Amino acid sequence: MMRLGAVYGAVPAAERRPRKVTDSEGLYILLHPSGSMLWRLAYRFEGKQKVLALGRYPDVSLPKARKAAVDARALIADGYDPSVERKRAKVRAKTAAMDSTFRVVADAWFKARKVKWVESYSDRLRSRLDDDLLPDLGDMKIAAIEPVEVLACIRKIEQRDAPEMARRVLQMAGNIFRFGVATGQCPRNPAADVRDALASPKPVKHRPALKPGELPEFMRRLAQYDGAERTRLGLELVAHTMVRTSEVRFAHRDEFEGLDGQQALWRIPAARMKMRRDHLVPLSPRAVEIVKRLLVLAGNKPLLFDADTKSGVMSENTLIYAVYRMGYHSRASVHGLRSTASTILNEHEFNRDWIEMQLAHIEGSVRSIYNAAEWISGRRLMMTWWSTYLEHLMAGRNPDGTVHQEAANEDRLPEAAAAALRRMEDARS
C-alpha cells in the first residue's frame, strides 16, 4: 500500500489535507495527514450521493475491502441502502446481547398501559399475565424466545378447552413483544408467527336474552323471588336502570344524588365504566325506592352490595344464580335484560339516541363523547315510562297502548308514550 510520503510529496505538514487514492467502482482509501488510512465506498442510492465506511487499513486488507464493496453493491442492486442495513445490524446485535427477561418487559408494558384501564379490566389482564404467560416465559430472555416456545405456552390454555382465552392471551403476548421491540429489548415479535397454529375458536355464544313476550313471566317470578332481599333488589335495579351488572355490584352511596326530589340521579364515575367516561343514570320513582331500601340494608357501609369477597362486593355470580333459581338457566342472563329493554323501547319508537345513551353505548361522535348529560330530560321520561311498564308486569298486569314517536330528535316524551304512562298511573291508583 502506498506510503503517505509518496502522496503528499513536499507539501508542508501544516497544509496537508485528507487525500483520496481510488481503487475501482467507487472504492477508495482516504489518507489523513495523521497517518490513518480508511477504506470508503462512494455510491448513489435513490438519487443521493453517499459514503460507506469499510474499515481501517491494514486491519482491513485490500482484498477484504474489495469483497465488502462487492457485498454493498449487491445490497444496492436489491434495493437496500448498505448504510441503513449496517445500522440495523448493529441494533440487532445489541438487542441480542441484552439480558432482559420476558417478565421484566411484561411488567414494564403492564405499568405503561395500566393508567388507561379501568380497575376491573386491569385486574383481569394482570391475572392472565401471572397465570398464563409468566410461569412458562417469565424467566426466559425475551430476545431469545422462539415462536415454538410461545405456542407451547398457549397450547396449555387450549387444553383447558378455552380457545378464545388462548387467543386473548396470545394477543397480550404479542403486545408485550411489540413493546420489547419498540424499547430495543427484543428483535421481533415471535407471537405473530403463532396465530395460524391456534385451534379454531368455538362459535360465539351470546348471553341469552328474554324475548319481549317472555318478560312478563320473568318479572312476576322476580316479584315472588324468595331469596335474599338484596339480591332481588339488585336484579330489579339492573332492570329499572339498564346498567351493567358490575356497575350495580360496585355502586357507592356517594354516587346517588337528589333521592328526595324530582331529579334523582345516579352518577357512575368514569373509573367504573367500560368506556372510561362518567355515566349519568336518571332514576325513576321506583328506582329511587330500590336505592333507598338498599341504603338501609347497607347501614353505614359505603358500598350498597358490600360483601366478604376478594373484590369486597357481592360476587358476580350472585345475580345470575338468582336468575337460574327463578328457572331461567340457559334461557336468560342478567346482561340480557339490557338487550330486552332496548328491544322493547325501540319497538315503542322511543328516540334511539336516548336508548343508546342509557345503555352507555358510544358511537364516537364528539357530541356523544363529551356531553355525559345529553338527552337527560328525555331519558328521565323514558325511564319513568319503562319503570312503570315493569311494575305492571311484576303486578301481573299487561300495560297496553302503542307508542308513536313524531319528533325523534326532540327532547320530550312521545305523546303516545305519555298517554300510555297516564293510563298506567291511573290503573296503579
Residue 331 Cα to chain centre, angstroms = 29
Query: Pick the catalytic residue: 90, 124, 301, 361?
Result: 361
Q: In angstroms, what CA-CA distances link 54 with 19, 42, 155?
A: 17, 11, 47
Backbone conformation region of residue 281, classed left if phi is above 0, alpha if psi is from -120 to 50, else beta: beta
Who contacts 274 (Cβ-Cβ below 8 Å, separation ≥6)?
118, 244, 360
274 is catalytic: yes
338 is catalytic: yes
Contact assessment for residue 102 and residue 145, using Cβ atoms and an 8 Å cutoff: yes
Query: Pick the catalytic residue: 244, 279, 286, 379?
Result: 244
335 is catalytic: yes
Contact assessment for residue 60 and residue 68, using Cβ atoms and an 8 Å cutoff: yes
Query: Pick the catalytic residue: 19, 195, 335, 423?
Result: 335
Helix 376-394 and helix 215-223: axis angle, to 10°?
Answer: 70
Residue 142 Cα to chain centre, angstroms = 24
C-alpha cell at 389: 311498564
Q: How far apart are the first and last CA of the chain?
A: 112
Query: Pick the catalytic residue: 128, 274, 276, 325?
Result: 274
Comparing CA positions, the residue from 149, 337, 376 lying closest to residue 248 is 337
348 is catalytic: no
- β-strand partners of 37: 31, 57
Contact assessment for residue 305 and residue 290, using Cβ atoms and an 8 Å cutoff: no
Query: Pick the catalytic residue: 40, 167, 338, 348?
Result: 338
Burial of 99 (0-12, 13-18, 19+ CB in 10 A): exposed
Catalytic residues: 244, 274, 335, 338, 361, 370
